[in-house]
Structure 1
Amino acid sequence: MRLDILNRGYRPRTTLLFAIIRIFSGHPLPDAAKLVFYRPGFYGAAAKALTHEAMRGPSEWSVADRELMAAYVSVVNESAFCVGAHTATATRAYRDGAKVRAVLADPDTAPIGEGLRATLRMLATLTRQGTVSAEDMREVLAAGVSPRQIEDALAVCTAFDITDRLADAFGFAIPGPEGFAAGAKYLLARGYR
């Protein structure tokens, strides 16, 4: 059920910003962005900071890898909005839609390195079960993933476990392919600020 709160309750200046974005982009502001503008002191500012650091902060993972992780966590969570948004962004970042589709369909057979494959398996376990074991972590480390890379992947998972649940709770509108493509272009240019 879509909550009406995403359609109202903004300051006049914010409402004007939404209108300007729509005029220049040709697309309405995605509900994920609207949510961070609603009561920014309570949720929005902290969420933007967490997500931007996880997705664009310094990391041994590429931006494309982290966008793929976000898409994969969203697949596990069955969050249609976030799957669409981050599949489009990962596809644009990698410039390889077939690779992204293959990973999201089955990371065990996809054309990716063992480190990323092991990391995705660990993120899926964490997302489904809410915990991982020492053995899960040993498998990721044995695949050549550094402890810092594990921390960075866990940050991506945290950000998108939260966002996926909010997307479903608020009933985020699902844009078409053009809307997702416009969002992907923006996210790659500006990040999550």
Structure 2
Amino acid sequence: MRLEVLNNGYSFGTKLLFGMIKFFSGFPLPDAARLVFYRPDFYGAPAKAFTQTAMRGPSEWSVGDRELMAAYVSRQNKCAFCVKAHTATSAGAYQDPKKVTQVLMDIENAPITPALLTTLLMISKLTRENAVTAADMRTVIHAGVSPQQIEDALAVCFAFNVTNRLADSFGFSVPTDEAFEAGAKYLLKRGYA
């Protein structure tokens, strides 16, 4: 059930900003962005800061890798909005939509490194089962993933498990593919801040 707050729970100034964004971009502001404007002191500002660090902060993972992690976690959670948003953004970062589609459809045969494969499988298990074991971590480390890369992947996993649940709880609208492409270009240029 879509909550009315996503439509009308904003000050006049914020509504004006949303209108300007729609005028200049040609697309309404996605619900994920609208949510951070609702009670920004409670959720918006902390969520933006955490997500910006997880997705664009210093990391041995590329932006494409982290966006792919977001898409993969979102796929595990069956969050249509986030799957489409982060599939588009990962495809844009890699400049390889086919690679992203292959990972999401058949990860075992996708053209990715063993390090990324084992990391995606680990965060997938964490998402589905809410736990990983020491053996799971040894598998990831054995594939050449550093402890910092594990921490970075876990941050992406956390950010999108939260966002996926909010997207589904608030009934985020799923825009057109063109809107997701425009959003992906924005995220690749400006990030999440």
TM-score for the superposition, normalised by structure 2: 0.99
Structure 2: runs of 5 or more not aligned: none
Does 2:75 correspond to 1:75?
yes
Does 2:182 correspond to 1:182?
yes
Matched to 1:170, the amino acid is F
1:131 aligned partner: 131
Q: CA deviation at 1:13?
A: 1.2
1:146 aligned partner: 146
Greater CA drift, 64-73 or 2-11: 2-11
State percent identity of aligned pairs: 65
1:90-169, aligned counterparts within 5 Å?
90-169=90-169
The number of equivalent residue pairs is 193
1:6 aligned partner: 6
Separation in structure 2 between the aligned mates of residue 191 and residue 147 of structure 1, nearest angstrom: 24
Separation in structure 1 between the aligned mates of residue 9 and residue 99 of structure 2, nearest angstrom: 41
What is the CA deviation profile of residues 82-141 of structure 1, one whole-angstrom value per residue up to 9, with x for unaligned ones? 000000000111010110000011211100000000000000100000010000000000
2:61 aligned partner: 61
Does 2:154 correspond to 1:192?
no
What is the CA deviation profile of residues 115-169 of structure 1, one whole-angstrom value per residue up to 9, with x for unaligned ones? 0000000001000000100000000000000000000000000000000000000
Q: CA deviation at 1:62?
A: 0.3
Separation in structure 2 between the aligned mates of residue 173 and residue 64 of structure 1, nearest angstrom: 24
Q: CA deviation at 1:17?
A: 0.7
Separation in structure 2 between the aligned mates of residue 150 and residue 108 of structure 1, nearest angstrom: 20
Structure 1: runs of 5 or more not aligned: none
Q: CA deviation at 1:9?
A: 1.6
Separation in structure 2 between the aligned mates of residue 144 and residue 107 of structure 1, nearest angstrom: 18
Query: After TM superposition, which residue ranges in structure 1, 4 or more long, deviate above 6 angstroms?
Result: none
